[in-house]
């Protein structure tokens, strides 16, 4: 027998002066293989066309549908209602700017963050459109690909205690992004250059290492590993920079 689901959904439209933040409850019959994507679309088409939420790919690829599902950041399109209790609470991701209801602006956050960590290959090589692509080993390409699978959903940022307490904290996603360039031999930045970018409390030294980010990452990106490596590399750079000055007196 199908269950009756109770969906408690955050409602607020900051652009509407009459709107006040509140939770609205919708009742829905569960159907077979129902995802939260299907549930929300049914609510919008059958009960309230004003409900706002984001979806694009419906396949865990675009990252648009991340929200807080019963207290945990996750992708709504990959979440089956059968894996949840019949009482479901949906909130928008914190930290990102609220557009309305469950819809947040992750794009602006990611854009400013990628600018801060200079998320591009730094090289003096002049671009030659006739040159062959630079080769790298399969092993190295796979290592880079492993950390480069981020879909920019924002779950790791929303699940991070430091990001909630410290407004400018870069978050696991940006530190992981930098790890991708450190692996890439085409990027000629030195360790000191990386230190200047993220060797701060807003960067790697603000991370408390409790790893909620990895727990909630829907792509299972090995954030723990990358954050640990980056922390060790930049801590060593700091010691190497300070020690000679200390010894000279």
Which among 28-36, 116-124, 189-197, 213-221 is the span making contact with ligand SF4, rule CB under 6 A? 213-221
When asked if residue 56 is in the footprint of ligand FES (CB under 6 A), the reply is yes
Question: Between 13 and 224, whose beta carbon lies closer to ligand SF4?
Answer: 224
When asked if residue 149 is in the footprint of ligand FES (CB under 6 A), the reply is no
When asked if residue 38 is in the footprint of ligand SF4 (CB under 6 A), the reply is no
Give the other-Cβ count within 10 Å of 180's Cβ.
Answer: 19
Question: Between 68 and 172, whose beta carbon lies closer to ligand SF4?
Answer: 172
Give the other-Cβ count within 10 Å of 213's Cβ.
Answer: 27
Question: Do the bridges between strand 97-100 and strand 103-105 make them parallel or antiparallel, or are there none, so unpaired?
Answer: antiparallel
- Binding site partner of 207, from ligand FES, ligand SF4, none, Cβ cut-off 5-8 A by kind: ligand SF4
When asked if residue 64 is in the footprint of ligand FES (CB under 6 A), the reply is yes
- Spatial distance between the Cα atoms of 183 and 199, rounded to a whole number of angstroms: 18
- Spatial distance between the Cα atoms of 193 and 111, rounded to a whole number of angstroms: 20
Question: Between 100 and 207, whose beta carbon lies closer to ligand SF4?
Answer: 207
In this chain, which of 9, 36, 51, 75 binds ligand FES, going by CB under 6 A?
75
- Spatial distance between the Cα atoms of 245 and 239, rounded to a whole number of angstroms: 10
Locate all alpha helices (DSSP H) within the chain, ordered by sequence: 36-46, 106-116, 138-147, 155-158, 161-165, 171-183, 191-198, 212-216, 223-248
When asked if residue 60 is in the footprint of ligand FES (CB under 6 A), the reply is yes
- Spatial distance between the Cα atoms of 92 and 96, rounded to a whole number of angstroms: 9
- Spatial distance between the Cα atoms of 143 and 3, rounded to a whole number of angstroms: 44
Question: Between 24 and 146, whose beta carbon lies closer to ligand SF4?
Answer: 146
When asked if residue 212 is in the footprint of ligand SF4 (CB under 6 A), the reply is yes
Which among 54-62, 82-90, 116-124, 166-174 is the span making contact with ligand FES, rule CB under 6 A? 54-62
In this chain, which of 208, 236, 239, 243 binds ligand SF4, going by CB under 6 A?
208
When asked if residue 211 is in the footprint of ligand SF4 (CB under 6 A), the reply is yes
Which among 24-32, 79-87, 149-157, 186-194 is the span making contact with ligand SF4, rule CB under 6 A? 149-157
The secondary structure of 45-73 as a DSSP string is HHT-TT-----SSSSSSS-TTEEEETTEE
First to last CA, the chain: 78
- Spatial distance between the Cα atoms of 73 and 164, rounded to a whole number of angstroms: 13
Applying CB under 6 A, the residues found at the interface with ligand FES are: 55-58, 60-65, 75, 77
């Amino acid at each position: 027998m199908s269950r009756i689901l109770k969906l408690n959904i955050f409602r607020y439209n900051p652009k509407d002066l009459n709107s006040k933040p509140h939770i609205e409850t919708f009742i829905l019959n569960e159907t077979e293989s129902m995802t939260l994507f299907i549930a929300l679309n049914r609510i919008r088409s059958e009960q309230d066309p004003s409900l706002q939420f984001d979806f694009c790919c419906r396949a865990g690829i675009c990252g648009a549908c991340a929200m807080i599902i019963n207290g945990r950041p996750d992708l709504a399109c990959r979440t089956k209602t059968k894996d949840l209790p019949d009482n479901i609470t949906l909130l928008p991701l914190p930290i990102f700017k609220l557009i309305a209801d469950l819809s947040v602006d992750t794009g602006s956050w990611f854009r400013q963050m990628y600018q801060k960590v200079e998320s591009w290959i730094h090289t003096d090589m002049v671009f030659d459109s006739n040159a062959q692509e630079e080769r790298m080993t399969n092993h190295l390409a796979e290592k880079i690909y492993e950390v480069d699978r981020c879909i920019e959903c924002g779950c790791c940022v929303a699940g991070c205690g430091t990001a909630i307490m410290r407004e400018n904290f870069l978050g696991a996603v940006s530190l992981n992004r930098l790890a991708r360039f450190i692996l890439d031999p085409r990027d000629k930045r030195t360790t000191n250059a990386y230190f200047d970018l993220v060797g701060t409390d807003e960067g790697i030294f603000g991370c408390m290492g409790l790893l909620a980010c990895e727990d909630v990452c829907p792509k299972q990106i090995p954030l723990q590993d990358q954050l640990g490596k980056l922390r060790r590399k930049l801590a060593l750079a700091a010691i190497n920079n300070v020690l000679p000055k200390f010894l000279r007196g």
